[in-house]
Amino acid sequence: MTSEFEMSMLGELSFFLGLQVSQLENGIFISQTKYAKDMLKRFQMAECNAVSTPMATGCKLSKVDDTPTIDQTMYRSMIGSFLYLTATRPDFMQAVCMVSRFQSAPERFHFITIQRILKYIKGTLDFGLWYPRNDNFTLLAYIDVDWAGCVDDRKSTNGATFFLGDSLVAWHNKKQDCISLSTAKE
C-alpha cells in the first residue's frame, strides 16, 4: 500500500482571487501589482507622478472643508478599490480609513487626498506581503493611537499590526466609538 498520490499537472499557484503569488525557495511573496496598475488606469492616474507617503504629514480631514462637493459614486468606487488592495497592502490602510469617513458628502479636498493615495500606489506598485521560510514563531504586536485625532468629533483612531516571526499576519485600524476624558486634576 502506498501513501503517495499524484498531483495534477496544473503547476505552481501564481494567481489566486486577484492575488499574485510568487513561490520562491526562501519564501512566498503575495502582491496585487496587476490590480493596482489596472486601478490606476481606471481612475486615469496611470501617468501621475509618484509620492513617497499616502497622506501629507499632519493632514487633518474634516467633514466641512468649504470646497465643492464631488461625485459620490466615483469616490465610493475608489474607496472600494483601495479596500480590496489593502488585502496585501496594509501600508496605506490608515489613509484609506481616513478618506472613507467622508463617503456621504465628499468634497474637493477629500478627492485631492484620494488622488495622493493613488500617487503613492503608483510609486509602490511592487509592494506586497513577504512570508519567508523560517522557524521563527515569535509573536509581536505594534499598536498606535492618534489620541483625539478627528477634528470633527475628537475621537481617536487606533491601529495595530501583528507579526509571527518576520511575517505580517494581521492588521487592524478602527476609529473609537467614544471619547476618553482625562481624570487628572491641576
Q: What is the largest CA-CA distance in the chain?
A: 80
Enclosing domain of residue 167: 135-180
21 and 98 inside one domain:
yes
DSSP E strand boundaries for 44-166: 128-132, 139-145, 157-164
The verdict on 94 and 124 lying in the same domain is yes
pLDDT digits (tens, 9 = 90+) for 69-102: 788 899 899 999 999 999 899 888 888 888 888 8
124 in a domain, yes or no?
yes
Bridge partners of 132, per DSSP, are 27
Does some domain include residue 5? no
Judge whether 185 lies within some domain. Answer: no
Q: How many structural domains does the chain have?
A: 2
CA dihedral defined by 39, 44, 48, 54, rounded to 10 degrees?
Answer: -50
Are residues 166 and 79 both part of a single domain?
Answer: no
Q: Please state, for a pLDDT cut of 90, what percent of the chain lies above it.
A: 29
pLDDT band at 47 (very low <50, low <70, confident <90, very high): very high
pTM of model > 0.85? no
SS3 48: coil
Same domain, 162 and 172: yes
pLDDT in tens, 104-146: 888 888 888 899 999 999 999 999 998 888 878 888 888 877 7
